[in-house]
Amino acid sequence: MSRLGDSKIRVLLGTIMVALTLCGMIPVQKPIQIAARVPRFEQEPHTIRVPYVAQEAYTIQVPYVVQEPYSVVIQYQETIAVTKTAFPCRVSRNYSPYDLRWDSFDLREQRWVDGSWSSSEKLLLVVVCSQATRNKLIAALVAIIGAVAAGGPLSPALAAVLAPLIGSIVATVLTSNDYREINEQKGSFSRNWDPDTYYVLVINTSGKSVQFDLQIRYTYSTTETVTRYRTEVRYREVTKYRDETRYRDVTRYREEVRYSQVTRLVEETQQTSRTEYPYLPFAFVGILGLIAVGGWHYVASQKAGGRVRGRKRILSRT
């Protein structure tokens, strides 16, 4: 019974020692703060000049040709139909007192003529007639006043005789195509005359000097070349210039902010943990206890083995 009791004690003590050893080996994490230099990545700005292509405007003068109008005066010849007035007879004369005068003119074509006359005093007779009528008139007057073909001054006595007879003489000799005026100061006429030599007879019996004017005229159509002028618009090529905007590629530079990554070492306070064994003395105690229990067990087992060997010798002797 004593050996059994010791064995139980040793087992209990061994268990306690194992428990103490295991408790002493339990680690405990203890937080601590440490200062450490740790790398830190930062974006560091820096400026660079970056080239780029831009469209640059510039102005040039570009020639171009235009048609520019201008005016010129052109001289040209043109044949036109015109109506003209011809004066086959113009008489402007001062007649003396008691004067008788002949004038003549030629009409080369058949014409419708217009005549007009005026005087400063009344005239006994104004006649415009053909050559045949003139011859008859001379023949009629010769019997009264003598030679009248060349004309000339009259005596007052002949003028006094002629005055009352002139009306009947003219009415007998002149035709409807001849013109006559008796005791008038002015007159006009219009006749269609054949080509001939025509005569103008003026007899002044007023005893005064008389201014006499006569015009015989006709109109006719003809053509003539005239110089005329017209303005023409012509065109000439003129070179002008206009501004044009063109574009060209140019290289320019602009500043840009770029970022580069740099590594810096900074001091930081870090939280870490340290493994400690605060119950380690219990482990030593347990180990020592286990050694003691083991020694105790060894001694006890040695003693028990001696007794067993003694009994065997005793039994072998018996």
Q: At 54, is the secondary structure helix, strand, or coil?
A: strand
pLDDT in tens, 5-50: 667 777 777 788 777 677 767 777 777 777 777 777 777 887 888 8
Alpha helix ranges (H) inside 69-190: 131-145, 156-173
**What is the per-residue pLDDT across 278-315, written as a single tens digit (0 to 9) for each?**
766 766 676 777 787 677 667 777 776 666 555 555 55
pTM exceeding the 0.75 threshold for the entire prediction = no
C-alpha pair distances (Å), 32 with each of 27, 39, 101:
15, 21, 171
Give the residue extent of every domain in the chain: 2-27+277-317, 37-275
Helix H or strand E segment including 198? strand 196-204
Q: Is 3 exposed, middle or buried (0-12, 13-18, 19+ CB in 10 A)?
A: exposed
Phi, psi of 46 (to 5 degrees): -150, 150
Write the pLDDT tens digit of every residue in 208-255.
999 999 999 999 999 989 898 989 898 988 998 988 888 888 888 888
| pLDDT per position as a tens digit, 127-146 | 999 999 999 998 888 877 76
What's the one-letter identity of residue 162? Answer: L
